[in-house]
Structure 1
Amino acid sequence: MATAPANPVRFSPSVEQHRPEEDETVTTLKDTFKTILDTTSSNYGHAVRGVHAKSHGIVTGTLTILDGLPPTLAQGLFAQPGSYEAVLRLSTAPGDILDDAVSAPRGIALKVLGVPGDRLPESHDGDQDFLMVNGPVFGAPTPAAFAKNLKLLAATTDKAEGLKKAWSATLRVIEGALEAVGGKSVLLSQLGGTPEVDPLGETYFTQTAYRYGDHIAKFSLKPVSAALTERTGDKVDVKDRPDALRDVVRGVMIERGGTWQLCVQLCTDLDKMPVEDPTVLWDEKLSPFVPVATLVVEPQLAWENGVSEDQEDRLSFSPWHGLAAHRPLGSVNRARQDIYQFSAEYRSRANGCPMHQIKALEDLDA
């Protein structure tokens, strides 16, 4: 049975502190997203996501809620044992589709289907989305700081790919030197200094806080099957392989599939585990990540040219798709509410194709 911390903080609206500049910052973020989207849609003749544009695989599976969870963990989606259909998308962070030699943080988006319960106003009926990156902290403490970082990323969107490869290689050397002496730069990683690790071996984190029923939490997705854990920390050879990560994901998924644990870290101290500053690491000594569900992906084809691109267009993910019991918290999440919707509407309008709500796995290929 999973063990929860004895005294998690109870959720109250007072844990959020709204900043007076948030509306203005959202406008700036939308303008920056539009710059990225205008550039990429013109280049590709097709609109893609404003961030995490390149997919390395889309797989389907089953999320099973663990039986016997204690009351503090049996909240929202996890209140009762049961199984749900799910879609998992693996990606990297930039808003343009790049050669994999240009490194960037890895991301996953998990959509759980057919979830009952009271929903957030922006949510599709029945889905619960979890968006995560392979690092436990966010790259900016506030939406305003995030907007500055995004402008730096936007400035690279239309640069020559050869220049991006050279820039990325240089940043990886700098980041490697920092890590060798115990340091790390989230911004350097975001700009292309991320090691070329295998995405299947990584643990992913929401980085920002969410309501967890009566409590407050962050989520993570951790690989547990041998097909995945044996790849943890492995570097992928990306030389002259523009879609190396897609090749790796496809090879493992079609032969072995994979199993992950969905875990929860409950907030136990608002001073040491703040809601409004996602750059602060929530210490696992104060509250460890505890498994609450298992995601099983059976062997399958993770990418099929001519098919997976259509699935990409059908899928939209947002932290704000889900249950009211798992409402995103903090200023960064509040900013994401509008800009994720803006990006999805832009894609829908530019591609002349309304976003389809995926209610069951069969809808993915309809």
Structure 2
Amino acid sequence: MPSTQWREVFLPDESTEHAEQAHVFTEVQRQHLKKHGRGRALHRKQVAALRAHFAVEEGLPAYARQGIFADPSVHEAHVRLSNGNFSADRAPDIRGFAIKVLGASTPSTADVEQNFTLVSQETLKVTGSAEFVGIVDLSTSAPGAALRKAAKKPHMTRSAVANFRDMIKPFSGFATHDFFSITPVMFGDYAARLKLRAASTTINKEARKDLAADIYARLADDGLEFLFQAQFFEDEVRTPIENSSVRWDAPWLTVARLRVPRQAPDEALAEAIEQSSFNPWISAPEHRPLGELMRARQAAYSLSWRNRGAAP
């Protein structure tokens, strides 16, 4: 059974450190601004913008009936599919699958906007936010500067290489790949990592050349249904809260279904979604992100949002 005995670890003066780290992402944004105009620091390349419905499952066990999952319900949702970098679709990358659930409610809060941000990797091989930011800094630096930084911090290079090995694993497309939260969120009194299970096992070998064309070709013929699953904390050995490099050893439970109906590209929707903020900290109190890495992301998201002048 899931446990409520999870704990977060707060580092001394971490808020100051997180604020300083956020400026690395500001520099990444500044570099992109010169080449591509105003936009996000990371996951800037929007592949597709989709309308969807988020349907909470019936008959969930008591421990899963928390927050927006307390009662069976169906909510409108917006979906943003993205590449982490500006490179071609066939290049190694971390893909993003962000979901904005609209008009949900919880036992304590009405009309909640709940954001879930998932990526194509299940784990992130870093020891904390400082190492993650170091990898971002290393990967976005000019070659000469990157070599100097790598020489000073060899452990950072090893971590970057380990994560790159995950990035180069084949990506078959947004409809046929699983996506993960990597870090946990609150699930009421419980804690859980999240997963979006692929909607199809039929792989299009040409998808990697044009990921948008693949998803819209599928949606021209029929809708897609993804399983939204939660993996609950049991103990710190098998399901550690703070260690993003560990694949949790616990069962997945389907708590909702993301239904994406037939649709064609919509320029107005794409612009609205591009201007919107997909931030895991936009959430019901029952689903607050957990862990030091996510608290660091909160500072980075806030600064990135202000720098690009996004819609509220």
TM-score range, shorter chain: 0.7 to 0.9
| Unpaired runs of at least 5, structure 1 | 1-6, 158-184, 239-243, 349-353, 357-366
1:291 maps onto 2:254 in alignment: yes
**Residue number in structure 1 paired with 2:175:** 200
Shift of 1:307: 3.4
1:76 maps onto 2:36 in alignment: no
1:331 maps onto 2:288 in alignment: no
**Residue number in structure 1 paired with 2:117:** 131
Aligned partner (choices 37, 43, 46) of residue 55 of structure 1? 46
Shift of 1:196: 4.3
Q: TM-score, normalised to structure 2's length?
A: 0.87
Q: Is the 8 A contact 1:52 1:107 kept in 2?
A: yes
1:102 maps onto 2:98 in alignment: no
Q: Is the 8 A contact 1:36 1:50 kept in 2?
A: yes
Q: 1:288 to 1:282 in 2, by over 3 A?
A: same
- SS of residue in 2 equivalent to 1:254: helix
Shift of 1:54: 0.8
Aligned partner (choices 182, 189, 203) of residue 231 of structure 1? 203
Percent identity between matched residues is 26
Q: CA offsets per residue over residues 133-166 of structure 1, 9 Å max, x none?
A: 1121123220111111111222269xxxxxxxxx
**Residue number in structure 2 paired with 1:18:** 10
**Residue number in structure 2 paired with 1:115:** 104
- SS of residue in 2 equivalent to 1:279: coil
Cα distance in structure 1, aligned partners of 2:214 and 2:259 = 18
**Residue number in structure 1 paired with 2:219:** 253
**Residue number in structure 2 paired with 1:27:** 19
Cα distance in structure 2, aligned partners of 1:25 and 1:148 = 13
1:355 maps onto 2:311 in alignment: yes
**Residue number in structure 2 paired with 1:267:** 233
**Residue number in structure 1 paired with 2:141:** 155
| Unpaired runs of at least 5, structure 2 | 144-160
Q: What is the one-letter code of the residue matched to 2:3?
A: V
Q: CA offsets per residue over residues 216-250 of structure 1, 9 Å max, x none?
A: 111111124xxx22128x56353xxxxx1122122
Q: What is the one-letter code of the residue matched to 2:294?
A: N
Q: Is the 8 A contact 1:32 1:154 kept in 2?
A: no
Q: Is the 8 A contact 1:85 1:114 kept in 2?
A: yes
CA RMSD of aligned residues (A): 2.5
- SS of residue in 1 equivalent to 2:64: coil
Q: Is the 8 A contact 1:25 1:143 kept in 2?
A: no
Q: Is the 8 A contact 2:56 2:69 kept in 1?
A: yes
Cα distance in structure 1, aligned partners of 2:142 and 2:103 = 39
Q: Which has the higher strand share?
A: 2
Cα distance in structure 2, aligned partners of 1:186 and 1:246 = 28
Q: Is the 8 A contact 1:195 1:235 kept in 2?
A: no
Cα distance in structure 2, aligned partners of 1:344 and 1:99 = 25
Shift of 1:210: 1.1
Cα distance in structure 1, aligned partners of 2:257 and 2:175 = 16
Shift of 1:197: 2.5
Q: 1:98 to 1:308 in 2, by over 3 A?
A: farther
Cα distance in structure 1, aligned partners of 2:142 and 2:282 = 30
